[in-house]
Structure 1
Amino acid sequence: MTGIVPVLFAGAIFAYFVSLMPAIAANEVIRVSIPWIPSLGIELAFLVDGLSLTFSLLISGIGTLVLLYSNTYLAGHPQYARFALFLTAFMLSMLGLVLADDLILLFVFWELTTLTSYMLIGFSHEAEKSRRNALQALFVTGAGGLAFLAGLILLAAASGTTSISGIIAQGNALKEHAMYLPILILLLAGTFTKSAQVPFHFWLPNAMAAPTPVSAFLHSATMVKAGVYVMARMHPAMSGTDVWLWTLTIFGAVTAVFASLLALRQTDLKQALAYTTLMALGTLTLFLGQESGYAMTAFATFLIVHSLYKASLFLVVGCIDLSTGTRETDHLGGLGRLMPVTAVAAALAALSMAGFPPFLGFIGKELKYAGAIAVASEPLFVAGAALLSNALMLAVAGVVAFRPFWQGSVPSGQAPREAPWQMWAGPIILASLGAVFGIYPDLLQVALINPTVISLTGEVGEAKELKLWAGINVPLFLSIATFVLGLLFYKFHVQLRAKLEQGFQAIPNLDHGWDRFLDGLKGFAKWQTLLVQNGKLTSYLFATFLTIAAGILLTLLYTGMPMIAVDLSDVEWKHTSIALLTIAGALLALVTNSRIAGIAALGVVGIGIALIFIVFSAPDVAITQLLVETLVVVLVAVVMLRLPSLPKAEFRLGHAALSIAVGASVSLILIAVVSSPLDLRLTDYFEATSWPEAYGRNIVNVILVDFRALDTFGEIAVVVIAALSAYALLRTTRKGDQK
């Protein structure tokens, strides 16, 4: 039951989203919202349109097959229940992200995908490599998440709402806002780290430390597509500017070509597929930088194409690894006769990946070329990047799916056999869909492509027709060039791999310095901890009060000092006497060498504060103050009797300056507050409701007991805990003396 329940759960979710397809195909938009934080206008809002439905179907559909696969792949694993829980949570987090229609809700699910992927990448936590790579993914995407949060905050401030659909409905208003550029930079910092664009690409191949089912899910439909989704979701509101166009085009093109070269360099099948994911993410980012209908149709089509073949190929690699015990291409061969079903699944997926007809990958490739040509700024640059990356992908498809099955022979010592049906069912289904949608593209066109393009452009009719044969045109010639160049790359891939290995050694890679960076970070943390957490109470108090003083004074300087008018005409002798008594207690505590005298002096200060409360008609607060002071003086005095005398009082200039700064800043704030008109809305509310609703005539008591009951309960709990701790300390000390 541990294995089948998650599969049924994911399947039910997929079936639900399938039921929404007719409505979305008819250009309907489904939105459900529940008030979450009404005072801030934040809702638990979820939206289903073409874009979110496409992602939801991919996430839940592939998630169902991956969970079915995992049930056999990890059969007998003692921690499989934990794995299934993490994977299901990962799926739900990603679904929440693509369905969220509120910026705050979007960020909550954004971070949940980060946390759940961290647990999945580090699932084999007994291995140092898994722990390292999981921490790396968490750190890189988490750092990007902080920038992303800042961007969302600025976005909400600029648009005046946290509703994503509300922001999109504002049209060009955001692009004309003064905060557009900072918002764009911060959002792209988050999305580029999440979707592993160069130079943040290094964490994604290292995530291959996760079990193969996790890799299949993460690379095809989940976390790495989160950044792409956010860029697509914000496309109607933020695209159309030069900075958007060039940033996404350059980063996307560089990532696609660079990752394709790295993919051909790999000998590990999972690593090769990981780098092809980077290529796909770069391609998707590149096309999101454009605005043409061809580019948007190419994006929507390739999003589905990539998800289908990538999940299938990763699952195929898992079958190979489980059967042979290796993923190294040099140690594999002749598996086609012994693993025929797996070989068929690999062939179907690879043909779609390579872009051969009649597969959906061919249509997607043709649309990519059409979209590249439609780029008004630099069509040759975009088309050239697409041509080179596609040709390299064809070569990698041959390395991953042709060479292990149909070249060479089975190495000695291996006894491969076909995987159980639960493991090859997923690859067969996903790879076959690539063929079905290629032969019958209208099935995809109406149900998903058209609604997705509408979500991206906001206009009906922008989607271009999916055709297996679009006639003799430039995209067709580019496709032929892709086949020729790709086959050449495959024929000489061993020699090219050696050249690439030498060439890439000289290119800086952030992964090479990751361990040194982490060691430096730990060293800095240790130094900082020894500096700040040094075990001296005076250091802690100094840092605390320095922060308070700096915060108050800097705020006053930034906002400007308010007009302060001090009127001493109503000061009486009793006020002066109380002030002098309080000051005398503070001075005595400052200069005395006796701990008892010091605590007594602090008690005098407390009594002076209580007298102030009495003079200004707050007897309840005064009684509380007196009780607390008495309790503190008695308990602390008993403890102090057992401590040595204080050292001779020394004048400390830094402490004196800090004391003056804190006193002056707090005094300035208080004087400024009483000099300004007070907001009496709460006062009026308590006066009006104290008796009718709380049945109390003493407003202070009513506030403490009724309106702030939980706060008062917490304060009482703190006092009780402190008293019990002091009692336990005294008992321990007394028993120690008796011994």
Structure 2
Amino acid sequence: MLFTILIGLITSCLLIPLGKYFRSPVSVALALLPVILFGYFVYHIPQVSSGETLYESTKWVPSLGINFDFRLDGLSLLFSLLITGIGSLIFVYASSYLKGHPYLDRFYGYLCLFMSAMLGVVLSDNILLLFIFWELTSISSFFLIGFNNDSAVSRKSALTALSMTGLGGFLLLAGMVLIGEMAGTYSIGELINASGVITEHPLYPLVLGLVLMGAFTKSAQFPFHFWLPGAMKAPTPVSAYLHSATMVKAGIFLMARFTPILGGTPLWSYTLLIVGGVTMLYAAVHSLFRTDLKGVLAYSTIAVLGVLTFLIGLGTEEAFIAAGTFIIAHALYKASLFLVTGVIDYQTGTRDITRLGGLRKVLFPVFVAGTLAALSSAGLPFSFGFIGKDLIYEATLTAGDPLRILLTVVAVIANICLVAAGFMAGIKPFAGALPTQFADVKMPSALVWIPPLILGLSGFALGCFPDLAGQYIVAPTVSALTVEPVEFTLKIWHGFNTVLLLSGITIIAGTVVYLFNKPAVSKIAFVERFNSYTPHYFFQKSWITFRRFSVWYTGFMHNGFLRSYLIKIIIFAEILLIYELVKGGPIYIDYGKLIPVSVHEGINVLILLGAIYLTVTTTSRLTAVVGTSIIGYAICLMFVFYSAPDLAITQFTIDTLTVVLFVFVLFNLPSFLVVAHGNRSIVIRDALVAGLFGILLSLTAIKVLQVPTVKDISEFYGKFAYSLAKGKNVVNIVLVDFRGFDTMFEIVVLSISAIGVYSLIKLRLKTSEKD
């Protein structure tokens, strides 16, 4: 399984030097990558559908509990098939849709990176590894959403998406770390067995909130939904891939994966029911007011994500069956509708529903694809969408909750709106008379209309043979959620019952809403009157406030003056020292531990004090340098007095070199500026801060004398310095071997700095560049 992830990452990296060869029609060959991966997962369907879970482990950072641990069960298989299967069609579609784009290779690089990250999310058996891939999806989607980087709107949409998903990712990390600490493991398989320990822990509500915040932000649940409509500024292949079958479904996957771990409690169920219910109603109604085809699809996608969250919250076997089925149905018809929208936009130059119509006469294959997808979205019999909607109603009616009637009513209302939205996106642009400005529209390349047609036909193929998906895909998915084998049969016909009646009402009512709902700019203007009460508005206000605070904080803490940085660091250190000294109890001097001050030590201290006075009072830079050197040499003598000759030699060498450098640099500089009367307060402030720091260090030294000496660490280094590191100088061994990583990173930093300096020295600018 590791190779399925690495192959995408490697391909993404290879497109950097070799990308220029894929800016031509040969770019369609890149579709072989997801096709091969799709075949790999299809090959494992028999094993997984028989109840087997495949595991694979490769050591990575075992000391931190992070390894490349992967599992292929029903849930991960479902999402892997969607990621690679729909990804294959997206790769083909993009080769024609973005034909001639100067950054087509870059686009494929981002797309490969995103596909690998999504596979990593769904295949991970370690929650920390899952988080790493989770963040990688956010980063790669940022580049995809902002692919048209010359557009300010695209850049803003990408930043908004990254901000929301990044915030959720930060909270998710905290939740996962807490889960690992509570259960003593980061393995998903072991966490499922330890679910009782987690749900009964006092921190369970906190952990639940952190994990769900990560899932809600990624899956665009209310009130974090607003980033998704904005992300529609991305190219159509991105919208079709990220927002129908992959990225937004990552949040759904996370909730499903953690159902056996965190689920089964009223807090879990009611949170998901409320958030999912509010999301699907809010977004479904909003989709009816949009005039942009992508806007309609965006809000209908949010509504479906709410439905899936709602079903996971129900937590019954029927709800899980409905969720697994509806995930497949939605991915097929929504990806098809997005691709159809892309063709319409590409050929006509607009996505405005009020201007489109009659395109069936010039884009007939696209019309067929859009109609099939719209009918599956509506839940027409013999479509897989019909099976999915029936199962949703069956789940709400058999929930056993006293609110099941309310839950069913909410589901019916949301689905009625989704039926109308599907017709608006898939049928309305092709219905009616053809406007004269579109009479010359030509059929595009087959590479852009065949993928949505395949998806539309697949929805009806599975609808005619639903148990193929039910037995081999949905059943293993439900078994992964319930942690026990589940058997059921998906049928086209369940007889005349309440579920069939509700499905009929949904289709008829949705059709009526579609026929009588006339999208118009005036309706959007009416809705926008309430923008000041939307979550997006409050997010923007919070962003403005945070930005102002950041500007103030940067101006105060990072104003570019070294003296400012030093005094703030010293004041902060003084606060910490005062806190520790006060917390540690009274300070007293044990005179028995003090040794008499010798004459030469006293003379050395007097020289030191004189040098300090000379340094802070002189107006000559060179005199100050001389005073500083005297201070350094006095400290060298202290090291010699207290048997630390190696430190004395080091101090002497560094101090001498520093003095020489200072003299060379400062020789031609003017004297110090005379301190004016108005700046005397600054001098007094600095003197107080410096004096307090010296007093605190003295008190700390006295406090240290009161603490019993613990020699375990020094004895360890002395004992193992030679046997483990083959050296007799303990100080050198500690620096080089026991603190090897620290030293290595110091070398790296110095090397990077040296490269930067060398680059500046060798820089040769052209005259135009200098100007």
TM over 0.5: yes
SS of aligned partner of 1:174: helix
Report the more deviating stretch, 338-347 or 61-70.
338-347
Percent sequence identity is: 39
Quickly say closer, same or farther: Cα 1:358–1:714, change in 2 above 3 A. closer
Contact 1:202/1:511, CA 8 A, preserved across alignment? yes
Equivalence for 2:443:
418
- 1:561 partnered with 2:584: yes
- How far, CA to CA, are the matches of 2:755 and 2:155 in structure 1? 42
- Offset from partner CA, 1:647-676 (integer Å, 9 cap, x none): 349465544454455456656666666755
Q: Which residue of 1 aligns with 2:18?
A: none
Q: Which residue of 1 aligns with 2:316?
A: 292
Deviation at 1:18, TM superposition (A): 1.3
Q: 8 Å contact 2:420–2:514 — kept in the other structure? A: yes
Matches within 5 A, 1:339-418: 339-375=363-399, 376-418=401-443
**1:615-634 pair list within 5 angstroms:** 615-634=641-660
User: Quick one: structure 1 residues 321 and 243, their matched pair in 2 at CA, closer, same or farther if it must change by over 3 Å?
Assistant: same
For 2:672, which of 645, 653, 667 is the aligned residue?
A: 645
Hey, what's the Cα distance between the residues in 2 that align with 1:19 and 1:556?
Answer: 67
Q: Which runs of 5+ in 2 are unaligned?
A: 1-20, 761-771
Structure 2: which amino acid aligns with 1:341?
P
Q: What is the deviation of 1:590?
A: 4.3
1:653-672 mapped onto 2 (5 Å cutoff)? 654-659=685-690, 662-663=693-694
Q: Structure 1 stretch 211-220 or stretch 561-570: which is displaced more?
A: 561-570
Describe the superposition over 1:66-98 as per-residue Cα deviations: whole angstroms up to 9, x where unpaired.
Answer: 010000011111111111111111111111111
Counterpart CA distance in 2 for 1:35 and 1:669 is 45
Task: Identify which of 48, 53, 56 aligns with 2:80.
Answer: 56
Structure 1 584/447 Cα, relative in aligned 2: closer, same or farther at 3 Å?
farther
Change (3 A) 1:672 1:75: farther
Q: Which residue of structure 1 aligns with residue 300 of structure 2?
A: 276
- Decide whether aligned partners of structure 1 residues 670 and 395 sit closer, same or farther in structure 2, where only a CA change above 3 A counts: farther
Q: Does 1:230 align with 2:254?
A: yes
Shift of residue 571, structure 1, vs aligned partner: 2.2
Contact 2:291–2:520 (CA<8 Å) still a contact in 1?
no
Question: Are the equivalent residues in 1 in contact too, given 2:172–2:211 (CA < 8 A)?
Answer: yes
Measured on the aligned residues, the alpha-carbon RMSD in Å equals 3.2
Q: 2:557 aligns with which of 532, 540, 550?
A: 532
Q: Which moved more, 1:679-688 or 1:283-292?
A: 679-688
Q: Which moved more, 1:540-549 or 1:258-267?
A: 540-549
Bigger Cα displacement from structure 2, 608-617 vs 122-131: 608-617
Residue 639 of structure 2 is aligned to residue 613 of structure 1:
yes
Query: Does structure 2 conserve the Cα–Cα contact (< 8 Å) formed by 1:323 and 1:415?
Result: no
1:555 Cα shift? Answer: 6.6
Query: Does structure 1 retain, via aligned residues, the 8 Å contact 2:114–2:140?
Result: yes
Equivalent residue number for residue 768 of structure 2: none
Q: Return the alpha-carbon distance in structure 2 between the equivalents of residues 14 and 663 of structure 1.
A: 68
Paired with 1:378 and 1:394, the residues of 2 have a C-alpha distance of 24
CA–CA separation in structure 1 for the residues paired with 2:638 and 2:197? 55
Q: Which residue of 1 aligns with 2:732?
A: 701
Q: Please give the alpha-carbon distance, in whole angstroms, between the structure 1 residues aligned to 2:339 and 2:705.
A: 70
Deviation (angstroms), 1:464: 4.5
2:590–2:706 Cα contact (<8 Å) kept: no
1 CA distance for matches of 2:474 and 2:493? 18
Match of 1:168 among 192, 217, 228: 192
Matched AA of 2:383: F
| 2:173 aligns with one of 135, 149, 159 | 149
1:257–1:694 Cα change, 3 Å? closer
Distance 1:723 1:151 in 2: 41
Q: 3-state DSSP class of the match of 2:360?
A: coil
- Between stretches 545-554 and 134-143, larger displacement belongs to 545-554
Whole-angstrom CA distance in 2 between matches of 1:636 and 1:717: 26
The match for 1:184 among 208, 221, 238 is 208
The one-letter amino acid of 1:647's match is V
Q: Secondary structure of the equivalent of 2:67?
A: strand
8 Å CA contact retained: 1:302, 1:364: yes
Quote how far apart the aligned CAs of 1:495 are.
Answer: 7.2
Residue identity opposite 1:626 in structure 2: F
Of 511, 515, 519, the match for 1:491? 515
Paired residues of 1:391 and 1:483 also in contact (CA < 8 A): yes
Distance 1:267 1:402 in 2: 14
CA distance in 2, matches of 1:573, 1:415: 102
**TM-superposed deviation, 1:337:** 3.1
Structure 2 counterpart of 1:602, one-letter code: T
Corresponding residue for 2:458? Answer: 433
Q: Which residue of 2 aligns with 1:445?
A: 470
1:109 maps to amino acid = F
2-structure distance, mates of 1:435, 1:721: 59
Please identify, of 186-195 and 520-529, the stretch whose mean Cα deviation from structure 2 is larger. Answer: 520-529
* CA distance, structure 2, for counterparts of residue 720 and residue 411 of structure 1: 66
Q: Which residue type is aligned with residue 635 of structure 1?
A: L
Partner of 2:117: 93
More divergent stretch after superposition (411-420 vs 484-493) = 411-420
Cα distance, 1:695–1:370 mapped onto 2, change above 3 Å = closer
What does the per-residue CA deviation read over 1:341-397, in whole Å, with 9 as the maximum and x for residues that have no partner?
212211211111111111111111011111112331421222111101111111112
CA–CA separation in structure 2 for the residues paired with 1:266 and 1:290: 30
Give the SS at the match of 1:573.
coil
Asked if 2 retains the 8 angstrom alpha-carbon contact of 1:264 and 1:497, the reply is: no
Map residues 37-52 of structure 1 onto 2, 5 A cutoff.
37-52=61-76
Amino acid at match of 1:230: L
> CA distance change for structure 1 residues 367 and 612 in 2, over 3 Å: closer, same or farther?
farther
Q: Please identify, of 542-551 and 59-68, the stretch whose mean Cα deviation from structure 2 is larger.
A: 542-551
- Cα–Cα, structure 1 residues 629 and 720, in superposed 2: closer, same or farther, change >3 Å? farther
Shift of 1:182: 1.2
Tell me, in whole angstroms, the C-alpha distance in 1 between the residues paired with 2:754 and 2:149.
43
Change (3 A) 1:713 1:32: closer
SS at match of 1:200: coil
Q: Match for residue 629 of structure 2?
A: 603
State which drifts further: 618-627 or 50-59: 618-627
1:401 maps to a residue whose letter is G
SS of 1:220's partner is: coil
> Which residue of the partner structure matches residue 44 of structure 2?
20
Could you tell me which residue of structure 1 aligns to residue 769 of structure 2? none
* Aligned-pair CA distance for 1:638: 3.8
Q: Shift of the alpha carbon at 1:682?
A: 5.2
Q: Distance in 2 between matches of 1:317 and 1:173?
A: 49
Say if 1:602 and 1:179 are closer, same or farther in 2 by CA, change over 3 A.
Answer: farther
Task: Give, in whole Å, the separation in 1 of the partners of 2:497 and 2:751.
Answer: 83
Contact 1:14 1:57 in 2 (8 A): yes
Q: Does 2:240 align with 1:216?
A: yes
Residue 207 of structure 1, CA deviation: 0.7
- Shift in Å, 1:297: 0.9
Contact kept? 1:28, 1:49, Cα under 8 Å? yes
What is the TM-score when the length of structure 2 is the normalising length? 0.87
Going from structure 1 to structure 2, the CA distance change for 1:710 and 1:455 (only over 3 Å counts) comes to closer
Distance 1:721 1:67 in 2: 39
Aligned residues of 1:118 and 1:134 also touching (Cα < 8 A): yes
The aligned length equals 725
The amino acid that maps onto 1:607 is: Y
Structure 2 Cα separation of the partners of residues 445 and 512 of structure 1: 43
SS of the residue 1:390 aligns to: helix
Residues 170 and 310 of structure 1: CA distance in aligned 2, closer, same or farther (over 3 Å): same
1:27-42 aligned at under 5 Å gives the runs 27-42=51-66
Q: Deviations over 1:8-57 (max 9, x none)?
A: 11111111111121111121112222232222222222221111111111
User: Following TM superposition, by how much is the alpha carbon of 1:4 offset from its aligned partner in structure 2, in angstroms?
Assistant: 3.0
Q: Distance in 2 between matches of 1:4 and 1:396?
A: 32
